[in-house]
A and B are shown apart, each in its own frame.
Chain A
């Protein structure tokens, strides 16, 4: 029985087969998957902002920001018995949905999110096996930990598996 675990906006979830991880309607947000292909475990986060220094509430949601989410994803995988060197990553999202002529800072948040995630993964020496970021299209993604296949759906290109 295939069980889809839904990852909401500013949310983080772990999965083992036969469950898959899915997050819908990524715009400027970035969907990050960190997985262990051998142990077939994975964790997915749907981040909205690049840096928790932007938080204006003290008890903020750690899954909302790239830096705190990646930290939590790694510790979640470690707890499941996957050391850092066994981890790989895939990522998608970071689009700029609206093309403004006067580009305010908040409208460029998509590319900034993607940059932040890329940099954080590099810092932790986690290889990014695949990324589909930027552009101006919304994405819905689903990751299957048993095959490490990421399915990306967009309105224009349909479904792509990587």
Chain B
């Protein structure tokens, strides 16, 4: 069932962790500049997560999150999420357009949504371009899309590709947080979900064989 994943050993996990490290470091810098705040990045985790537990990594199934999803196209396709709690997305988007925003209300406030989308786009874009530099793979982001809803419902949109191979996804998860974190400080997650077929490509590009 886990044929594509069962061959992963500690070294492979470390390589993927490094990818998360490089990508998120660039994105965190971009966010610091954007917010004029110091953003701290946690050590990325790389896990083979059963679908059941995937929402737990971002605060639980029914918590409200705002997410920007972009599809990675090119040599190593996959999905990339930038996800933050809904209230923080409201604050972030609100501070950008200078009035209060509630992204959870349908239909989504077009100005607010577009501001949040743009933040996600900048962050995911910088994550992805450093990933492409590091691996020397040709990777292009699709135009991003934003949504605000139950965490589980959002994340499941990124599982379609993985779900054809098994009940697990490889998740490269990096948590970012405002430094000196109070309860009100910004924190969010980057999720990189490579399509199972892309793992070979990523390892090859970095000179690591999947069968070692």
Residues of A near any B CB (own CB < 8 A): 8-10, 24-29, 48-49, 54-57, 59-61, 64, 95, 97-102, 104, 106-107, 109, 136-140, 155-156
Q: Which residue from A28, A100, A102, A136 sits with its C-beta under 8 Å from B160? A: A28
Q: Tell me, in angstroms, the Cα distance from A49 to B162 when the chains sit together.
A: 11
Contacts A28-B157, A109-B160, A155-B64 given; does A138 touch B152 at CB 8 Å: yes
0/1 interface trace, chain B 49-65, chain A, CB 8 Å (1 if under): 00110010000011010
Say if the beta carbon of B182 comes within 8 Å of chain A: no
Are the CB atoms of B150 and A56 closer together than 8 Å? no
Is the CB–CB distance between B61 and A24 below 8 Å? Answer: yes
Chain B residues near A102 (CB, 8 Å)?
A: 142-143
Q: Which residues of A contact B52 (CB under 8 A)?
A: 8-9
A97, B161: Cβ atoms closer than 8 Å = no
CB distance from A51 to the nearest CB of B (A): 11
Min CB–CB distance B57 → chain A (angstroms): 13
- Provide the residues of chain A in CB contact with B109, threshold 8 Å: none
Closest A residue by C-beta to B150: A138
Q: Which residues of chain B come closer than 8 Å to A56, judged between CB atoms?
A: 164-165
A24 touches B150 (CB 8 A): yes
Is B119 an interface residue, CB under 8 A from the partner? no
Residues of chain A contacted by B147 (CB below 8 angstroms): 97-99, 136
Q: Which of B146, B152, B166 contacts A25 (CB 8 A)?
A: B152
Q: Known: A98-B69, A155-B64. Is A137-B160 also a contact (CB below 8 A)?
A: no
Please report whether the interface of chain A is mostly helix, strand, loop or mixed according to DSSP.
Answer: loop
- Is B105 touching A25 in the complex (CB atoms < 8 A)? no
Check A64 against B167 for contact (C-beta < 8 Å): yes
Number of chain B residues close to chain A: CB under 8 A:
36
Q: Are A48 and B163 CB-contacts (below 8 A) given A59-B1, A98-B69?
A: yes
Count chain B CB atoms within 10 A of each CB in A27, A49, A107, A139 and give the residue with the most. Answer: A27
Q: Which residues of A contact B87 (CB under 8 A)?
A: none
> Majority SS of interface residues in chain B?
mixed
User: Taking CB as reference atom, which chain A residue is nearest B81?
Assistant: A98
* B145 contacts across to A, CB distance below 8 A: 98-101
Give complex CA distance A38, B146 in Å.
44
What would be 21 A-B contacts, judged by CB atoms less than 8 Å apart?
Answer: A9-B51, A9-B52, A10-B163, A24-B61, A27-B150, A27-B155, A27-B157, A28-B160, A48-B160, A54-B164, A64-B163, A99-B147, A100-B143, A104-B142, A136-B106, A137-B106, A138-B149, A140-B150, A155-B106, A155-B150, A156-B105
| Nearest CB in chain B to that of A49: its residue | B163
Contacting A at CB under 8 A, from B98-136, are 104-106
Shortest beta-carbon distance, A50 to chain B, in Å? 11
Which residues of chain B are near A101, meaning CB under 8 Å?
Answer: 143, 145
A27 to B153, CA, bound (A): 4
CA distance A22 to B147 in the complex (A): 24
Q: Which residues in A have their C-beta under 8 angstroms from that of B156?
A: 9, 25-29, 48, 97
Closest 8 CB pairs of A and B: A25-B152, A138-B153, A27-B153, A138-B150, A98-B145, A138-B149, A106-B160, A27-B156
